[in-house]
Structure 1
Amino acid sequence: MQQLPKTPSFRLDGKRALVAGASAGIGLACAAALGEAGAEVTLAARRVETLEALVEKMTNAGMKAHALPLDVSDIESTGAAIEESGPFDILVNSAGLARHSPAIDTTEADFDAVADLNIKGAYFLTQAVAKGLIKAGKPGSLINISSQMAHVGGLDRAVYCATKHAVEGFTKSMAIEWGKAGIRVNTICPTFILTDLTRTTFEQPEKRAWIEDKIKLNRVGEVEDIMGAVQFLASDASSLVTGTSLMIDGGWTAE
């Protein structure tokens, strides 16, 4: 008799996860999502006191969580911290920076600051976690939080778009190189998500109207919209998914 197929598990019990940029917003939501699915989560960011408070909240909720002070733009110290603390089965890199302005007004200082974190920091963080997995002979799932702006252009966002397009490029190359080691590398590409950092944008009627017009589902994104996607990409449910982007943009890029 033919057997019914069984859905692969979304559970992450026994897995160790590192979430960079975990002190707020999307990063915090990702940490909570992985913790809910049973992973042991290391929350990494520069704000130590904030991290420790969040770790306490997650622990009180029955999750396994730890804090790791980390500045992703400091390549050397990040690599050392990952080597000491790893290996991690799962990486979610939500550390990022945006400095928006018309392209003609971009300063070298702003360009360097955004590129150093969004491209260079993301690249070497992903590399560091992969090194630990390869050394340990373990598979893994590495996820970079990219953006819908990695697939389109946007007014006043030339630098930001450039960095996120770059993330998509190195994600594909890393996925090809590390596939035989069982290491998957993907991105999540959200639309505008309502967080404390984006709240000022949403409070401007013209900008909010523009955003809501472009999002075909006619609502702004919430951090909860990212959580299921992170669980999917981190788990065996996505075991054949690598080198690709999961769009969570409400249809923005469908045009």
Structure 2
Amino acid sequence: MATPFAGKRALVTGAGKGIGRATVKALVECGAEVIALSRTEADLHSLKQEPFYLTFQSPLWHEVPSVKTECVDVSDLPAVEAVVKGAGPIHLLVNNAGVTQLLSVLDTTPDAYDRIMSVNLKAPVFLSQYVARGMVERGDGGAIVNVSSVASSVALTDHLAYCTSKAGMDMATKVMALELGPHKIRVNAVNPTVVMTDMGKMAWSDPVKSSNAMTQIPLGRFAEEADVVNAIVFLLSDQSSMLSGVTLPVDGGRLVH
């Protein structure tokens, strides 16, 4: 059986933990060669040691050599550009790396604002530019998925810079889809509700706060990593070949309010 991403090379940022790490595993298990970026060397080392279940071959657990790791902070644009230039053709890109800092409007500092915007918005824009240039030169198209958030549409207390960065990512996704579409490059975003990754726990581990947030979700639960990864894989695949410029809520109905 043909594999969804056989012969494809994917680059995933924020690959050391949470959604990014799970995305790397899903793409490898679907036949892709993956370049995993993280700023934490220990996370990349443990990722390389993890067994992968190759669903497209005979069932066999083993270390997969098709994961290449790069220890890079995505806000270091020259370093990221160097990774892209040395990677060979990249067919799939997942802009997943993100940061937040819980600060009110009155307490947000310029440094905190700049850091969040640099990682959450500026880095994905320019990484997409670097990768898209190669896609355009080759003429074979490609797919980009940006990991955004329902916070792009819903105001959250103590999330001024984070909400702003994700709103910017949604619009960047649409402009990229508009300009890159003629080159057969699809650009979409996934917009999860709370996912209890390490970053999610930092913001939502308080039971009173999380309970109040969950009451706004018709399905009555936060998202699991797999919920988001499944959406990412779908948007990267040919099964979504007519989707571009989409901001796909993975929110259990949160945005119906």
Tell me, yes or no, whether TM beats 0.5. yes
**C-alpha contact (below 8 Å) 1:32/1:58 kept by paired residues:** no
**C-alpha contact (below 8 Å) 2:196/2:224 kept by paired residues:** yes
What is the aligned partner in structure 2 of residue 25 from structure 1? 18
Using the alignment, how far apart are the partners of 2:254 and 2:5 within structure 1?
A: 31
Aligned match for 2:124, one of 111, 122, 125: 122
Measured after TM superposition, the shift of residue 45 of structure 1 is 0.8
Per the alignment, in what secondary structure is the counterpart of residue 176 of structure 1? helix
Measured after TM superposition, the shift of residue 105 of structure 1 is 1.7
Using the alignment, how far apart are the partners of 1:39 and 1:207 within structure 2?
A: 39
Given the superposition, is the C-alpha separation of residues 36 and 77 from structure 1 closer, same or farther in structure 2, using an over 3 Å criterion? same
- Amino acid in structure 2 at the alignment position of 1:251: G
Per the alignment, in what secondary structure is the counterpart of residue 66 of structure 1? strand
Q: How is 1:1-255 mapped onto 2 (pairs within 5 angstroms)?
A: 11-58=4-51, 60=62, 64-255=66-257
**C-alpha contact (below 8 Å) 2:189/2:248 kept by paired residues:** yes
- Amino acid in structure 1 at the alignment position of 2:207: P
Using the alignment, how far apart are the partners of 2:144 and 2:153 within structure 1?
A: 20
Per the alignment, in what secondary structure is the counterpart of residue 35 of structure 2? strand
1:35-74 deviations in whole A, cap 9, x for unaligned? Answer: 1211111111111232122123146255731112221101
Measured after TM superposition, the shift of residue 196 of structure 1 is 2.5
Question: Structure 2 unaligned runs (5+)?
Answer: 53-61
1:124-162 deviations in whole A, cap 9, x for unaligned? Answer: 011111112112222100011000111221111121111
Using the alignment, how far apart are the partners of 1:250 and 1:78 within structure 2?
A: 34
Using the alignment, how far apart are the partners of 1:128 and 1:75 within structure 2?
A: 10
Using the alignment, how far apart are the partners of 2:155 and 2:63 within structure 1?
A: 40
Aligned residues with identical type, % of pairs:
36
Q: Which runs of 4+ in 1 moved over 3 A?
A: 200-203
Using the alignment, how far apart are the partners of 1:202 and 1:114 within structure 2?
A: 18
State the number of aligned residues.
Answer: 247
- Amino acid in structure 2 at the alignment position of 1:34: L
**C-alpha contact (below 8 Å) 2:93/2:128 kept by paired residues:** yes
Using the alignment, how far apart are the partners of 1:36 and 1:10 within structure 2?
A: 9
Question: Structure 1 unaligned runs (5+)?
Answer: 1-8
Q: With structure 2 as the length reference, what TM-score do the two structures score?
A: 0.91
Using the alignment, how far apart are the partners of 1:69 and 1:91 within structure 2?
A: 17
Using the alignment, how far apart are the partners of 2:27 and 2:11 within structure 1?
A: 10
**C-alpha contact (below 8 Å) 2:148/2:192 kept by paired residues:** yes
Greater displacement, 121-130 / 54-63: 54-63
Per the alignment, in what secondary structure is the counterpart of residue 197 of structure 2? coil
**C-alpha contact (below 8 Å) 1:45/1:70 kept by paired residues:** yes
Measured after TM superposition, the shift of residue 214 of structure 1 is 1.4
Given the superposition, is the C-alpha separation of residues 58 and 73 from structure 1 closer, same or farther in structure 2, using an over 3 Å criterion? farther
- Amino acid in structure 1 at the alignment position of 2:237: S
Measured after TM superposition, the shift of residue 100 of structure 1 is 1.9
Measured after TM superposition, the shift of residue 201 of structure 1 is 3.9
**C-alpha contact (below 8 Å) 1:171/1:185 kept by paired residues:** yes
Per the alignment, in what secondary structure is the counterpart of residue 199 of structure 2? coil
Measured after TM superposition, the shift of residue 195 of structure 1 is 1.4
Measured after TM superposition, the shift of residue 10 of structure 1 is 7.4
Per the alignment, in what secondary structure is the counterpart of residue 215 of structure 2? helix
RMSD over equivalenced CA pairs, Å: 1.6
